[in-house]
Amino acid sequence: MSYITKKNEVLRALEDIELRQIFQITNEHEDGVLMQAEQNMGNGKCVISLQLENRAFNGIYYSLGRLSNMGKKDNMLELLNSFNEENVMLKFYIDDDNSIMSQVMYIASDANFNADEYVSLIGPAFGSIRDTYYSKIMRVMWA
């Protein structure tokens, strides 16, 4: 299944759960598409990114803020690693731009890609980050 078919199915699935209006296509190229939405989380913003490509791995990414004080990087990495030890669905990391990220990876062959399943991961992951992890991340950032 091409990313174009995946994109159209995901747009339909987002429409079905009334989330289509918050997602914008921010980048599209010959191998994939990136759709993004910005949501409030705590006192900050969370950018949710849906990345659909011509492969079995299709990610949902949550950008939770940027680590501007590199003196806190070791403490932040220790915290994120502790989250990763206890969590099966979400993976936390700091990317090359020092953004604090969380990721859910939906894995399905082209024949088995199900847009409703993919989209159904957005809300529970967001809720888990908001309710369980975000305040702990902010405590390290602002300590």
Q: pLDDT band for position 28 (50/70/90)?
A: very high
Give the whole-angstrom CA distance, residue 135 versus residue 133.
6
Q: Is the pLDDT of residue 143 over 90?
A: no
Structure token pair of residue 8? 């159209």
Mean pLDDT, residues 99-109 taken together: 97
The separation between the first and the last C-alpha atoms of the chain, rounded to the nearest angstrom, is 47
Q: What is the pLDDT of residue 52?
A: 96
Give the whole-angstrom CA distance, residue 66 versus residue 97.
8
Q: Is the pLDDT of residue 63 over 80?
A: yes
Q: pLDDT band for position 110 (50/70/90)?
A: confident
* CA dihedral sign, ordered 82, 97, 43, 37: negative
Give the whole-angstrom CA distance, residue 16 versus residue 8.
12
Structure token pair of residue 114? 């199900």
Percent of the chain with pLDDT over 70: 100
Mean pLDDT, residues 17-42 taken together: 95
Q: Which domains does the chain have, with CATH numbers?
A: 3-142 (3.30.1460.70)
Q: Are 13 and 125 in contact (CB under 8 A)?
A: no
Q: pLDDT band for position 1 (50/70/90)?
A: confident
Percent of the chain with pLDDT over 90: 92
Which burial class, exposed, middle or buried, applies to 107 when counting CB atoms under 10 A from its CB (0-12, 13-18, 19+)? Answer: exposed
Give the whole-angstrom CA distance, residue 28 versus residue 52.
10
